[in-house]
Structures are given as C-alpha cells and as structure tokens.
C-alpha cells in the first residue's frame, strides 16, 4: 500500500484539483512549482487573522493588507478601453470606500450582489486622498463563513502574472487545501530518527507541514516552523559534514612535512614585520593540515587588512619547500594583479619565479608561461580564472589558494583539483571580505575554518563620519588640510551597470568640481574608471601610488586590493547606493599607514531608512564581521553577492540572518550523528539516508563540492 502511494509528491502539479494544464504551466514558470511536493514546500510568508476586521475610517495609505466587513452598496462599470473598470461602493459602520476591478469585470458584475454583506480582503491603495482596494478577495459574510474564518490564514508568495490569471493568494490557499485533502500522514513519512523528534519535542512531520500551511494556534505554528527550519538546515549540514569527513578519510594528498630553506630564509630575512598572534596560529593550523597526509580544505577568514596575503604566501613557501608548485586565484583582474605585485615584492631576491596569468596575457607571452609551468620552472602562478582553463598544466601542483569574493562555483573548484597529479592539491580558500558565521557554516560548511581575528599592531580605527551636501565646503577644507600634511585622498563614486552613463557623468562632474577647487600646479588629481583602457588606468594609478597626485577620483575599481599606505582619507560619494560590505572594502583602502585615517560618507539629505541604517553601522563600527552580520540582517542572504549562484542557499524556510541558533544546533547534532555512525548504517539512521538520497536527486547537490 505504502509503496503505491509513495510517489504522490512526485505527481505533476497540473493533476491537482483546480490546476489543470494552463495553470500548471503558470505555476511552473512563475514559481517553479512542478510537483505536489514543490507545492507542499511553497510555504506561506505570513498569516492573516481572518477573525479580525479593520474599520474603513481608520484606514490610511500605509494600512497595507486589511480585512473589512460591510455591505456592497453600488456596482458600476466606469471608463473606456484599458481604463475600463468595475467600481463597487463599500460601506461599513464607520465609512465608505471603493473596491476596484480591472479584469473579470462582467463576470464579477454578475456574481456580486448589491446590498449583500461581504468580507473583503485586500491591499489599501491611495490615489490622491482617495483610498480604494484593487482586486479584493470577496466572500459573503454568512454566519458559517464567519465561523469558519481562520485566525491564521496563510498568505503565499505569488507574482503579478499569477494574480492576473486568478492564481492569487486565495487561489493558492485553495490549492494547498485540496493538496491536503489528498495527503495522508503516511505520504509524509518521518525524515528524522524517532529519538531526535522526541528529544527536540518536534511534531510529527505531517503535523508540521500541515501546521505551517494551516495552523490553528500560534503554538502550532511555532512548533511547525521550528521543525521545518531545523530539518532544512540539518540535512544541509549533514550533507556538508559528510562531504568534509569523506574527503578527510578518502582523499589522499601530499605530505608537506618539511619546513625548508624558502620558508626559513623568508622568515629570517624578508618578513618585514612580526606576525600577529592570529597569523601565527593560522599558519600552525595550515602546517598541521599539510603534514597530515590528507587533503587540506581550509577557509581562512579575516577582516580587511588583517594580513591574509602574507599567510597565503608563507603557506605557498611550505609547498615550495616540499618540492611543489603553488598557485593563487583571485576573482578579478585587479585583485589578482595586486596579489601578484605584493607577492613578487615580498619575494624579491629569493630567486623564485612568480608569474601572472589572466585572459589579458596572450600569444607568445602566454605560451612561454604555460611551457615554463609545465616544465616546473615557475614556482608560483598568480592569476584569475584563467588558471583553471584546460591548457594550463602544472608540473607538480601542491597547493591551490583561491581568494573568493563569493564562493567559486563547484565546477571551477573541481577543475582546480584536477590540476594536481596524481593527487589533488591542498586547497586554501580566503574570503575577500568577512562573511557572517551562519553564512560561512552554510556556504563553506564542508571546509575547516581558520579566522585571523586580530589586526596588525598600530592600526588606528578609521574615524568615519556622515556628511551631506551642505558640508561640502568644509569637506574641501578638510581635504586641503590633509594634503598639506602630506596625505593623499580617495574620492569614490558608485558605478552601477544599469545607470552607468549617469554615474559616469556624476564622476566627471565631481572630477571637474575638484579640479576647480584644487587647481594645478599646486594639486594633481588622478582619475580612474572602468571605461578607461587598462594602460591609461595603470598610468593614473601609478601616479597616485608614487605620490605624484594627491587626489584619486575613482569608481569602485579601486575597491579591492589597492594598497597606498599614505592615503589617509576615503571620501565616498552617494554612499546610500553602496552595499555595506562594499563600503567596508572601500574604507579598508585607508588606515594602512601609521597616520590617523578618515572615511567621509557623503549622501543627499534624504535617504531611505535602510540607507541610514547602513551608514549608522559604518559610523558605529570598524569591525568587518559586525558589518557583515548587519548586511545579512538588512539584505537577507539571497541578496548577498554570489550566494545565488552557489545553489546552496535555496532555503525554503530557514533564514540565516535569524536562525543562527537553530543552525548551530543542527550542525552540532549532525556532527554528533556522524561521529557515532559515519556511514549512517545503523537501523535508526536509515531514514536519514533515504532523505539525503532524495534531496540529492532533487536539488542537484552535486554542485556543493
Ligand atoms: P588582507 O588581504 O587581509 O585585507 P593584506 O594581506 O593585504 O590584508 O595586509 C594588509 C596590510 O597589512 C599589508 O600592507 C601588509 O603588508 C600589512 N601586514 C600584514 N601583516 C602584518 C603584520 N603582522 N604586521 C604589520 N603589518 C602587516
Ligand atoms: Mg587581501
């Protein structure tokens, strides 16, 4: 019996009562709901108390979605052509307002009965000072209907198109209802071992799924949510931790047990400063990995300026000391260039060959690098994605470091692995900006983690202030004073693709204003933006780096990597248009020398609430991890750069910004289970294996590794 019904969740959605081929097609296109199972996982994003009513007199333009009870007084068709609409006059004991429909006019005109009492639900719209509700849900206010009204009516995410085709929130509610009419508890078998369900006081799975769609009480809803969030995070962690363990157990790699001449000489003669305690600790962790005989897969997190590059470099020297080559891959040309320049500078005089490779290196030069690499003459190769292209062959690659703005795709990582022969290289992943713990645990949950949680000594916090247009003259005065002290200044403009022309105009005008205020020959100004030829860009950069120019006007091309210790002021224009992590990166361009540094955040008078919060966060703290947390809270993980592509964060219900504790619990429990039963072979863990297999097929989890 059970086997026959087992696949009901795989049933194509069009076979559900009330769907059919046309609506089925829409559900697939608009919401990616293909099967009953998908629909079941289309969770409400909020609930409406249908037992409570608003009063017309108390409504205003900010009322949002409301429920009213009253009498339909009049119905009339108004307007012509596309403006044709059905308008209903609706009255409760406090006032009168309009209900408006633009589609289904004639049908509605027949169906609705003037003089009848209705329950109306919809979103208040303000047109001038007239309030109305477009396309409200209508239900006759019979005693039975009122009796049946749920305190938690689910509201489902939908789209305009679906609304227009009569697949609105109410229709989705009906579909879920008819789905639950078909489903029996046996169709939604347990996915968690019984002892866990009991220990965590979870409702059975069927109850949880029913409870998330149609809760009767707040308690039921909380319990359902809690379980479903846990479940979602738990299986993801189980999968990531399994992967991590499997690699540890199965993937052999080279043993780097020597600390040799390269490392020692560098340490004794070249290292220009004492390492911080955190840098030393992380290097020890890396060294232990390298000596273990298993493949290293370690994430190195650290705030902007915490000194990740030197750690990466010294790890590469360990590889070299053991007779291997190393490579380092960065997400952008500029960042890769910067790594190449700083690594080359650190290694000056060490008789090592360090080369740069990117898409811009072509022809003979490229071939020469490829040949030398295959012959083993190049010790360290630094570059962009070009490193993982097929023709790039190492003689003996032992260590691959990736500096990631966001998680590199898996296919890319797999390619990197294949560059090592016979074994995959050790892998270190550095993040260009700090990422919140919950996100790290999820995106990089299969890696070991090291955190460089200490900045080099002597760094002063950057003083950050918010300034508006009427401070402009004082800002110029400040620039003048700082230049007089011998400092250099960055002025950065946003450049966002869709409005590139406008932005470029802003940048040009800003440059001209500055040129008038700071004229030659007393002052020199550099300008750099993405539309310039690389050679011109380099030339301008170089003038700033060497101190010939005092002001650098730029777009965010300088966001990453640029290192000019004498620059002590960062002025960011139109700050409200930048994201938090970008602002933090930009600010990190100053505060690199011994001088007190400043960051001025320029905005209009009027900025959005969220923009203000971003600015307040920047003013309040210099701590990149704190800023990353705030970013996650404000924007949600889906919007953080790059998380979309990773495919890991397609979470249905868990929220990484808010469910940190559930995530922590899920990870700990997953870890404990794997300690006890690594292959999940014990009988009571069979359910876990079944669910993992199912999810693996559905979600294409191959993408994770
Ligand atoms: P990150 O990549 O983590 O943002 P970098 O590796 O670029 O940081 O280092 C930032 C700056 O700090 C560089 O100029 C580097 O030379 C310097 N630096 C790194 N480690 C130390 C240290 N232990 N003491 C002093 N300066 C350091
Ligand atoms: Mg760096």
Does residue 433 share a domain with residue 297? yes
CATH label of the domain that carries residue 542: 3.40.50.300
Does residue 291 share a domain with residue 437? yes
Of 275, 276, 300, 305, the one to substitute when testing ligand 1's pocket (max ligand atoms within 8 A of C-beta) is 305
**Omega before 587 cis (within 30°)?**
no
- At 166 the pLDDT is 80
Among protein residues, the one with the nearest Cα to ligand 1's atom 15 is 307
Q: Are 452 and 308 in contact (CB under 8 A)?
A: yes
Taking the centre of ligand 1 as the mean of its atom positions, its distance from the CA of residue 306, in whole angstroms, is 6
Ligand 1 neighbours (beta carbon < 6 A): 273, 275-276, 279, 302, 304-310, 456, 563, 592
Q: Which distant-in-sequence residues (6+ apart) come within 8 Å of 128 by Cβ?
A: none
| Residue numbers of the domain that contains 534 | 463-621
- At 399 the pLDDT is 96
378 belongs to a structural domain: yes
Task: Report how far residue 673's alpha carbon sits from residue 661's, in angstroms, rounded to the nearest whole number.
Answer: 18
pTM for the predicted model, two decimal places = 0.79
Task: Report how far residue 197's alpha carbon sits from residue 673's, in angstroms, rounded to the nearest whole number.
Answer: 14
Does residue 604 share a domain with residue 480? yes
Q: How many CB atoms neighbour CB 38 within 10 A? A: 19
307 belongs to a structural domain: yes
- At 2 the pLDDT is 44
134 belongs to a structural domain: yes
Does residue 386 share a domain with residue 432? yes
Q: Which distant-in-sequence residues (6+ apart) come within 8 Å of 420 by Cβ?
A: 253, 394, 397, 398, 400
14 belongs to a structural domain: no
483 belongs to a structural domain: yes
Does residue 397 share a domain with residue 287? yes
Of 283, 309, 315, the one to substitute when testing ligand 1's pocket (max ligand atoms within 8 A of C-beta) is 309
Among protein residues, the one with the nearest Cα to ligand 1's atom 11 is 305
Among protein residues, the one with the nearest Cα to ligand 1's atom 26 is 456
Q: Where does a domain end: 127, 149, 171?
A: 149
Does residue 514 share a domain with residue 403? no
Phi/psi of residue 123, nearest 5 degrees: -100, 130
Q: Where does a domain end: 592, 621, 650?
A: 621
Does residue 485 share a domain with residue 394? no
Of 275, 310, 450, 594, the one to substitute when testing ligand 1's pocket (max ligand atoms within 8 A of C-beta) is 310
> CA nearest 429: which of 456, 397, 411, 451?
451
Does residue 542 share a domain with residue 414? no
Q: Where does a domain end: 124, 149, 174?
A: 149
Of 272, 275, 307, the one to substitute when testing ligand 1's pocket (max ligand atoms within 8 A of C-beta) is 307
- At 498 the pLDDT is 57
Does residue 593 share a domain with residue 537? yes
- Residues of the chain falling short of pLDDT 50: 1-5, 642-645, 702-705
Q: Are 376 and 325 in contact (CB under 8 A)?
A: yes
- At 669 the pLDDT is 97
H/E stretch holding 47 reads: strand 46-48
Does residue 473 share a domain with residue 399? no
Does residue 479 share a domain with residue 418? no
Return the ligand number nearest the Cα of 332: 2
**Count of structural domains, the chain:** 3
Q: Which distant-in-sequence residues (6+ apart) come within 8 Å of 524 by Cβ?
A: 543, 548, 549, 550, 551
416 belongs to a structural domain: yes
- At 496 the pLDDT is 61
Taking the centre of ligand 2 as the mean of its atom positions, its distance from the CA of residue 335, in whole angstroms, is 8
370 belongs to a structural domain: yes
254 belongs to a structural domain: no
Among protein residues, the one with the nearest Cα to ligand 1's atom 20 is 307
Taking the centre of ligand 1 as the mean of its atom positions, its distance from the CA of residue 307, in whole angstroms, is 3
């Amino acid at each position: 019996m059970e086997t026959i019904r087992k696949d009901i969740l795989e049933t194509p959605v069009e076979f559900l009562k009330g769907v059919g081929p046309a609506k089925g097609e829409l559900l697939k296109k608009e919401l990616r709901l293909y099967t009953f199972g998908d629909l079941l996982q289309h969770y409400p994003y909020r609930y409406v108390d249908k037992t409570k009513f608003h009063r017309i007199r108390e409504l205003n333009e900010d009322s949002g979605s409301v429920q009213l009870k009253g009498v339909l007084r009049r119905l009339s068709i108004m307007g012509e052509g596309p403006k044709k609409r059905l308008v209903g006059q609706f009255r409760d004991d406090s006032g009168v307002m309009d209900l408006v429909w633009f589609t289904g006019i004639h049908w509605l005109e027949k169906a609705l009965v003037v003089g009848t009492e209705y329950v109306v639900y919809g979103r208040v719209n303000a047109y001038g000072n007239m309030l109305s509700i477009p396309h409200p849900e209508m239900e006759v206010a019979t005693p039975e209907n009122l009796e049946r009204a749920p305190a938690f009516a689910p509201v489902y995410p939908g789209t305009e198109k679906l609304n227009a085709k009569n697949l609105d929130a109410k229709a989705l509610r009906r579909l879920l209802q008819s789905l639950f009419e078909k489903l029996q508890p046996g169709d939604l078998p347990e996915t968690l071992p019984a002892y866990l369900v009991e220990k965590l006081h979870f409702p059975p799975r069927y109850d949880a799924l029913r409870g998330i769609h149609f809760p009767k009480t707040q308690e039921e809803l909380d319990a359902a949510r809690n379980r479903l969030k846990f479940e979602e995070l738990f299986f993801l962690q189980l999968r990531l931790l399994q992967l991590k363990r499997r690699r540890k157990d199965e993937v052999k790699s080279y043993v780097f047990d020597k600390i040799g001449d390269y490392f020692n000489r560098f340490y004794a003669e070249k290292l220009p400063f004492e390492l911080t305690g955190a840098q030393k600790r992380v290097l020890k962790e890396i060294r232990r990995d390298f000596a273990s005989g298993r493949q290293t897969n370690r994430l190195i997190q650290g705030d902007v300026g915490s000194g990740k590059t030197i750690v990466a470099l010294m790890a590469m020297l360990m590889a070299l000391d053991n007779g291997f080559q190393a490579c380092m891959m960065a997400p952008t040309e500029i960042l890769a260039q910067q790594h190449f320049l700083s690594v080359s500078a650190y290694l000056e005089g060490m008789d090592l060959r360090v080369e740069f490779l990117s898409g811009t290196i072509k022809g003979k030069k490229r071939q020469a690098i490829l040949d030398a690499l295959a012959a083993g003459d190049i010790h360290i190769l630094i570059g962009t994605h070009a490193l993982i292209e097929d023709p790039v062959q190492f003689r003996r690659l032992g260590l691959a470091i990736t500096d990631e703005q966001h998680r590199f795709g898996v296919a890319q990582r797999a390619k990197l692995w294949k560059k090592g022969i016979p074994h995959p290289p050790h892998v270190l992943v550095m993040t260009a900006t700090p990422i919140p713990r919950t996100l790290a645990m999820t995106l990089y949950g299969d890696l070991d983690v090291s955190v460089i949680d200490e900045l080099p000594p002597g760094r002063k916090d950057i003083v950050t202030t918010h300034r508006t247009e009427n401070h402009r003259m004082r800002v110029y005065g400040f620039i003048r004073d700082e230049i007089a002290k011998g400092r250099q200044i960055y002025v950065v403009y946003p450049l966002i693709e869709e409005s590139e022309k406008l932005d470029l105009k802003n940048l040009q005008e800003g440059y001209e204003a500055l040129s008038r205020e700071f004229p030659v020959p007393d002052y020199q100004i550099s300008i750099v933006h993405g539309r310039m030829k690389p050679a011109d860009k380099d030339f301008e950069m170089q003038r700033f780096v060497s101190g010939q120019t005092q002001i650098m006007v730029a777009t965010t091309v300088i966001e990453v990597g640029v290192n000019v210790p004498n620059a002590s002021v960062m002025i960011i224009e139109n700050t409200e248009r930048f994201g938090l992590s970008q602002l933090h990166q930009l600010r990190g361009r100053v505060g690199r020398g011994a001088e007190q540094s400043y960051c001025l955040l320029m905005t209009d008078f009027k900025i959005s609430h969220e923009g203000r919060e971003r600015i307040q966060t920047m003013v309040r703290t210099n701590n990149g991890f704190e800023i990353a947390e705030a970013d996650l809270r404000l924007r949600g993980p889906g919007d953080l750069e790059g998380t979309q592509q990773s495919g890991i964060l397609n979470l249905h219900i868990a929220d990484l910004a808010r469910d940190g504790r559930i995530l922590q619990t899920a990870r700990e429990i997953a870890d404990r289970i794997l300690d006890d039963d690594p292959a999940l072979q014990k009988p009571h863990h069979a359910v876990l294996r079944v669910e993992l297999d199912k999810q693996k097929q559905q979600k294409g989890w191959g993408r994770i590794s």
